[in-house]
Amino acid sequence: MLITRRQFAIGSLAAPAILKAGQTFAAGRPVTVASLLGEDKPETKVWRHIAEAMAQTAPGRFDLRIVPNAALGGEKEVAEGLRLGSIQAALSTISALSGWVPRGQILDLPFLFRDRDHLRRVLAGPLGTELKTQYEAQGFMVLGFINYGARHLLAKEPLTTPASVKGKRIRVIQSPLHTALWSGFGAYPTPIPIPETYNALKTGVVDCMDLTKSAYVGFRLNEVVPCLIETGHIWASGVVMVAAPFWKALTPQDRQAFAAAATAGVAYFDQMMQADEEASMAKAIAEGGKVFQPEDRAGWQAGARKVWVAFAPELGGIDKIEAVANSA
């Protein structure tokens, strides 16, 4: 008999033993945690790390039931689950939450951040506080920001210049900002769910796409698009979040324990992601993949600037964007 994702989600809440054979749960407050990837990836490992920390600081008070491999749906389905109360915790990219908090798209602006540390410093300041308040208003309590790594162009050939992208069919996530970026370079953006990208690239439905290095190999895309062009055009920011009603129902002591574990989890995730990127690219190169440097950097940045201007009205104005770009 076929079981739908929704049936699985309901069943997981009623009978948590099906989530992992032989696993025993404590008698604490149930916390259903959704993860998109498997046990070997940072996206799931970070929750195991958080659960272990809480077992020490809040023994017996929480029962984290971690559901991996997107069994509870994709990012938008999981976000809806948090709002409805069927899921209590998850990671999410900023992009997936843009429908609820459009201002978060400022973190998706191309070539806005110089490097990983620049992004971290910005989110540790007023912008991070502002965004947390807006996410909370939509039902998402953000306990910390995470970094999935930079997005790079992936293709069957070295598309190293903005001109080389013109006329190409490029897979994009379902985001107006990402669509505007590649349309501006003359490409034809095609929204396709990430699980379907392998076949879409293999069969020629699309010619290229962009993604982080970890996910590039995690989804085996190096087998169909062996060229990675290190454009680093967008830093894929994300959040560690819990459902706001769940959070508000906790005692101050339990909130403190959960928040501390999440903070430690953010640092652990960053370490794991950087290590996973290195291992992923070593694997890609060993299997025939090639890495190229982008040419005409000024041309890439000029195209990005058009996106800044187009989205400035809903992101607080061009002065705010410039202030983020030029911050120390």
- Cα four-point dihedral sign 267, 44, 119, 322: negative
Please give the radius of gyration of the chain, using alpha carbons only, rounded to the nearest integer. Answer: 20
Q: How far apart are CA 175 and CA 205, in angstroms?
A: 19
Q: DSSP assignment of 56-116, as one string?
A: HHSTTTEEEEEE-TTTT-SHHHHHHHHHHTS--EEEEETGGGTTT-GGGGGGG-TT--SSH
pTM of the model: 0.82
Give the sign of the dihedral formed by CA 238, CA 242, CA 244, CA 247.
Answer: negative
Joined together, the tokens standing for residue 137 give 């208003």
Q: Average of pLDDT values for 164-185?
A: 93
- Look over the chain and give the mean of its residue pLDDT values, rounded to a whole number: 90
Of the candidates 93, 95, 220, the one whose C-alpha atom is nearest the C-alpha of residue 148 is 93
Question: pLDDT value at position 173?
Answer: 85
Please, which pLDDT band fits residue 193 given cuts at 50, 70 and 90? confident
Phi then psi for residue 10, to 5 deg, are: -65, -45
For a pLDDT cut of 70, what percent of the chain falls above it? 92
Total domains, the chain: 1
CATH number at residue 75: 3.40.190.170
Q: Which domain holds residue 31?
A: 5-326
Q: Is the pLDDT of residue 10 over 60?
A: no
Q: Where are the beta strands (DSSP E) in the chain?
A: 29-34, 62-67, 89-93, 140-155, 169-172, 188-191, 208-212, 227-243, 290-292
pLDDT of residue 195: 81
pLDDT at 6 over 60: no
Which pLDDT score is estimated for 69?
Answer: 87
